[in-house]
C-alpha cells in the first residue's frame, strides 16, 4: 500500500500540488485522472521519488520515504516498476535485451538466471517468440507488452504506468488494460496509472483519484463514478457524447 498524507509541491511561485491525501491499495488498479495541468504528472513523479514534496509524507507499506537513508531510498526504488508513455525501449536492443536490462544493471544474477527470468515474464505477457526482434520490428501493442515485461522483471511491489494506452487502437488498449489488471491481481502489486482513457476508467478503475488544479477533487470506484453528483467529475468523464449517453442510460436504469 502507498499512503499519501497532505503533500504539497511548488515550483517557484507555482503551487502544483495542494494538500493531497489518499492511499493506493495492493492488488488493485489505482487510476489518476484529470485535465492537463491538474498535477497528475508531478504527483506521479512524487510517488516515484523523482520529486520531493515540499510538505507532507508518502509511505510505502509503512516506510516513510523522506525518513529513509539514501541507500534505503535506492533499495525502495528498485522495488518499483515503471511503464513509460512511449514505452521507452532501447532501439538498439532486442526485446530480450530490453527486458534483461534492469536485471543486468541492478542484480548479480548469472546470465542463465537472467535469461530464465526474462523467458518467464515474456511468456506472461504473451510474447513467447519475440526475444530476438528489435522494437522497430514489432507493433505498438507488442512494444507496450515488452515495456510491461521490463517493468515487472524485478518482481516489483509497486507498478507505475504513465498513459499506458497512448497511441493504441481501442482493441489493443483494452488488451493492455486487462493485462495490467491481471498482473496487478496475480502478483498483489500496488499499481498506480496516470490516464486520460475513459475506457480504462470504466473497465479497470478499482480506485479512481480525480485531480483538479492540484487538489483531490474526488475519489471512488468505477461504479461510484456513475453515481457522483460532482460537476467537475461529470464534466470531465462525460465530455464526449458517447459517455453522456452511457451515463444517461445508467441513470434511467436506476430510476
Question: What's the pLDDT tens digit per position in 126-136?
Answer: 998 899 999 99
State the cell numbers at 93: 536492443
Q: Are 151 and 170 in the same domain?
A: no
Q: Are 24 and 190 spatial neighbours (Cβ–Cβ below 8 Å)?
A: yes
Domain that holds residue 96: 91-155
Query: CATH number of the domain that 69 lies in?
Result: 3.40.50.300
Q: Are 23 and 143 in the same domain?
A: no
pLDDT tens for residues 197-213?
A: 888 888 899 999 999 99
Q: What percent of the chain stands above pLDDT 90?
A: 74
Supply angle C-alpha 96, 41, 197, rounded to 5: 75
Is residue 68 a part of any domain in this protein? yes
pLDDT at residue 177 greater than cutoff 70: yes
Q: Are 68 and 129 in the same domain?
A: no
**Confidence (pTM):** 0.89
Q: Are 99 and 120 spatial neighbours (Cβ–Cβ below 8 Å)?
A: no
Q: Are 9 and 44 in the same domain?
A: yes
Q: Are 51 and 147 in the same domain?
A: no
| Average of per-residue pLDDT across 4-18 | 95
In angstroms, rounded to a whole number, what is the distance separating the alpha carbons of residues 217 and 210?
Answer: 6
Is residue 227 a part of any domain in this protein? no
Indicate the number of domains in the chain.
2
Amino acid at each position: 500500500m502507498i499512503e499519501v498524507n497532505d503533500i504539497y509541491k511548488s515550483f517557484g511561485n507555482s503551487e502544483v500540488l495542494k494538500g493531497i491525501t489518499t492511499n493506493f491499495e495492493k492488488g488493485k488498479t489505482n487510476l489518476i485522472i484529470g485535465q492537463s495541468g491538474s498535477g497528475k504528472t508531478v504527483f506521479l513523479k512524487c510517488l516515484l521519488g523523482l520529486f520531493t514534496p515540499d510538505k507532507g509524507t508518502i509511505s510505502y507499506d509503512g516506510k516513510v520515504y523522506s525518513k529513509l537513508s539514501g541507500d534505503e531510498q535506492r533499495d525502495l526504488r528498485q522495488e518499483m516498476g515503471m511503464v513509460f508513455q512511449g514505452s521507452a525501449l532501447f532501439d538498439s536492443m532486442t526485446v530480450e535485451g530490453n527486458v534483461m536490462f534492469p536485471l543486468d544493471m541492478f542484480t548479480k544474477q548469472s546470465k542463465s538466471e537472467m535469461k530464465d527470468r526474462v523467458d518467464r515474464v515474456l511468456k506472461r505477457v504473451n510474447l513467447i517468440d519475440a526475444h530476438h526482434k528489435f522494437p522497430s520490428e514489432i507493433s505498438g501493442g507488442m512494444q507496450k507488452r515488452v515495456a510491461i515485461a521490463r517493468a515487472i522483471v524485478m518482481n516489483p511491489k509497486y507498478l507505475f504506468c504513465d498513459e499506458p494506452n497512448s497511441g493504441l487502437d481501442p482493441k489493443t488498449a483494452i488488451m493492455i488494460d486487462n493485462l495490467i489488471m491481471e498482473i496487478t491481481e496475480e502478483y498483489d502489486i500496488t499499481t498506480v496509472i496516470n490516464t486520460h482513457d475513459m475506457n480504462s476508467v470504466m473497465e479497470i478503475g478499482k480506485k479512481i483519484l480525480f485531480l483538479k488544479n492540484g487538489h483531490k477533487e474526488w475519489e471512488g470506484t468505477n461504479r461510484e463514478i456513475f453515481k457522483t453528483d460532482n460537476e467537475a467529475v461529470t464534466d470531465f468523464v462525460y465530455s464526449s457524447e458517447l459517455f453522456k449517453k452511457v451515463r444517461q442510460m445508467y441513470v434511467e436504469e436506476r430510476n
